[in-house]
Structure 1
Amino acid sequence: MTARPLPAHRRRRAAAAASAFAALALTTVAAPPAVAAEGVDLPPVPTAVAPDKPCTAESPTVVTAVPWAQQALDLGHVGQLHQGAGVTVAVVGTGVSTTAPALSGRVTALGDGGSDCVGHGTFLAGLVAARPVPGQGFSGIAPQARILAARGTGPRGETDGGRLAAAITQAADAGAGVIAVGAFVTTDDPALRAAVSHALEKDAVVVATAAPENNATGPRDAPVRVYPAAQPGVIAVVGTGPGGARPQNAPRPERADLSAPGDVMVGIGPRGAGHWTASGSAEAAAVVAGAAALVRGYHPALTGPEVRARLLATAYPGEQPALDVYAAVSASRPAVSGSAPATGAGAGQSAAAPRTLEVPEGPTGHGAGRTAVLVAGAAGAVLLTALLLMAVVPRGRARRWRPGGSAGPSAP
């Protein structure tokens, strides 16, 4: 696919991301990785904790600047349209702490999902729905969404297909509109396959990590296949860094539907108000899950498959389609004649995918599309004027600025 030039709003987002990235001075250091933010290292949140190690404690560092990913996704504008109110997002992973301040009062636990010794599940839930806190720059994609905590691992992050299957089934039966799966297995488990099919039949949007975390060990050249991301109907997501590039230390997925910010992400921990960092496709999947919550909230009549189709249709094209949150939420679709009858969950609603998606300008006062056109037009006019002057001025000087064909006095 031939890449097309970046439109104005994408150029602004890329510039904002680069600026924010420089401002936060996020740099990877020796393993286990940590990042520096505002001159202070952020601790890395683990994906598992060894049996002889203590649970993840409180981070002493609070980030006051807005992280690069939030600026790149243009969440300031998206938040003027919707913030996820009325939508429940299930986070399937190591659990979600019900005492995390940025999620307080909005976490419903299934079974023992309300505790998080590891901290990774709480980090993912924060990327989805952490509320803004005065004096802090970080907040979630859909800060008014509710979180359903479904433990898909053992207490210390141990994963297997059975645990993941049980958590996904519980989340679907509890009515989650979006299910973010931050854990994975590398074998095709029949129980996990059945659980995902059940969730899709329940009209949930299932989003999953397409690859292990960036600090995982193993070869980087061979593509990896993980489940449930490999299952049809799941939105498989791969993480990228500022500028949309895949980090050098990131495992390469066998297949991914979308890319989204996932490298050197800033987020919350299971205890206290301090911030942590993590890098990988699980973080990117949480970002896409937050975007799905915004779409479901802003377009409540859409079915799960239609939400998935909208996220994919509005993605910016390239070698790996990139999530465009504002376009996914705001794009309008004309009526489609001859809609196929709906089947399965959501019957009675149109199941046909839109033929076109028209992306309007940004919120009032931010006419990005109109501004880009005016700027381009003005630039074209200036260029045309310059070309005309380059052709006319030499001739005028040669004629001493007399009209062509005039019989003025001869030159001395």
Structure 2
Amino acid sequence: MRRRTTALLSLVTLAAVLPAPTALADPTAPAAGSGGAGGGATALPGMPDRIPQGQDGCTTHRGRPTPAAPWTRRALGLDQVWKLSQGRGTTVAVVGTGVSAAPAVLAGRVTALGAAGKDCVGRGTFQAGLVAGASLPGQGFAGVAPAARILAVRGTGERGEPDPALLAAGVRQAAEAGADVITVTAPLDGSAPAVRAAMAAAARSDSLVIVPAAADGAPSGAAEGPPAPAPPPEALAVLDTGPQGARNPAAPGYTRADLTAPGAALIGPGPAGDGKWTASGSSLAAALTAGAAALVRSYHPKLRADEVRERLLSGAYPGAGLPALDPYGAVSGIARPAAAAPAKERPVALPEQSDTSGARSTSLLVVAVSLGTILVVAFAAAVLPRGRARNWRPGRYEADRRGT
């Protein structure tokens, strides 16, 4: 009984003096008040980058509805930058699998060249939604430039098969059609003659070309493909990162990148219906950056394409490696307000060695006091009951002195 009493008192003392455990927040979870049913997350289907071999037909799944805001909305500070610009008056070309005008977030703002108005895969529609998806009542999703227009250009086979020649031709067609910003679904090889010709056409049309620095996935049947080729020097090459500002170590390799942007666990529309999908990859980070370029071109209509490129870089967050996209900084030319700056999502460069001696000393002091308290309580719990059983009484100083 006495041992149980001692143990119980020790545990109570430990609970009183030691700090409570801290709950860690999930940065990808919808923010409070985002409209998610019961605050829970919705499992969304994954958007393919091509139709798998052996699968007949096109992507017909309508996605799943979700009112939750994606993590990128807060990470990029979109609600703040929309007070300055929403991309009105600009056109962003999406060169890829095509773009469907069926989703409500893109309705009335898609123009297609040739067969690009049909998106059998869904990837191009997803990218277009990231660029310019409208902000509609009852949903938290929106593209970076919700008032911009989309120019759909085919840059792959109908089922999403990679075609470097078709991709380069798509860039040239988008530039000749007068697109302000051009983004593509796969890396461009800056050494290829067709790519150099396409970039020359973009320069003549004053079109800013934004490309993924890496592929979205390894080639079919390969565990790990070679790094993407070096992009054209005039293009802005973007690399994907996740909610914590880091890139998946297993992601495809790259040769050169200028900027990072969110590219993991993104939410966007599909080719049919108004449900949402999820996808990851550098082409999606490039799409978000293209939306930011549309914001800049709308707010600063006299800037040339190379000046917009420089503004995206100079307004970005500095990092330990590559700078990270900040639409507000690119548009305004100043750092985003502190209240709007991302917390967990923003990449943080930690010092290699930090001085923790003060914190260590404080921790040791707390532990010492806690152990001392436990020992005192344990001693009292063990000794006092025995003393009472033997009728111990506290001694009196005066009586002891008379007896000497």
TM-score normalised per structure 1: 0.70
5+ long unaligned stretches in structure 2: 1-24, 32-38, 342-404
1:251 aligns with: 252
Contact 1:153 1:183 in 2 (8 A): no
Q: Which residue of 2 aligns with 1:107?
A: 110
Separation in 1 of the partners of 2:202 and 2:105? 28
- 2:274 pairs with 1:273: yes
Q: 1:146 aligns with which of 146, 149, 165?
A: 149
Q: Which residue is 1:68 aligned to?
A: 71
What amino acid is aligned across from residue 264 of structure 1 in structure 2? A
Within-5 A mapping of 1:313-332: 313-318=314-319, 319-331=321-333
Matching residue's letter, 1:288: T
Give the whole-Å Cα distance in 1 for the aligned partners of 2:66 and 2:217. 22
CA shift, 1:160, in A, is 1.7
Partner amino acid, structure 2, of 1:47 = D
Query: 8 Å contact 1:159–1:185 — kept in the other structure?
Result: no
Distance 1:185 1:171, change over 3 A: closer
Q: Which residue of 2 aligns with 1:42?
A: 44
- Amino acid corresponding to residue 291 of structure 1 in structure 2: A
The residue correspondences of 1:18-97 to structure 2 (distance < 5 A) are 20-23=27-30, 38-49=40-51, 50=53, 52-97=55-100
Alpha-carbon separation, structure 1, partners of 2:252 and 2:122:
22
Code of the aligned partner of 1:21: T
Among 144, 163, 180, the alignment partner of 2:183 is 180
Letter of the structure 2 residue corresponding to residue 69 of structure 1: T
Residues 176-227 of structure 1: CA distance to partner in whole angstroms, max 9, x if unpaired?
000011124669431122112211221101000111115766566x87123x
Q: Percent identity?
A: 51
Compare CA radii of gyration and give the structure with the larger one: 2
Instruction: Give 1:193-342 correspondences, 5 Å limit.
Output: 193-214=196-217, 218=222, 224-226=227-229, 230-318=231-319, 319-331=321-333
**CA distance in structure 2 between the aligned counterparts of 1:94 and 1:188, rounded to whole angstroms:** 24
Distance 1:264 1:122, change over 3 A: same
Q: What secondary structure sits across from 1:254 in the alignment? A: coil
Conserved 8 A contact 2:228-2:253: no
- Tell me if the contact between 2:95 and 2:153 (Cα under 8 Å) persists in the aligned partners: yes
TM-score by length of 2: 0.71
The structure, 1 or 2, with the larger RCO (C-alpha pairs under 8 Å, 6+ apart) is 2
Q: What runs of 5+ residues in structure 1 fail to find an aligned partner?
A: 1-17, 25-36, 332-358, 369-412
Query: What amino acid does structure 1 have at the position aligned with 2:323?
Result: P
In 1, the alpha carbon distance for the partners of 2:193 and 2:335 equals: 43
Root-mean-square deviation (CA), in Å?
Answer: 2.4
Partner Cα distance (2:269, 2:294) in 1: 19
Residues 154, 261 of structure 1: CA spacing in aligned structure 2 closer, same or farther, 3 A cutoff? same
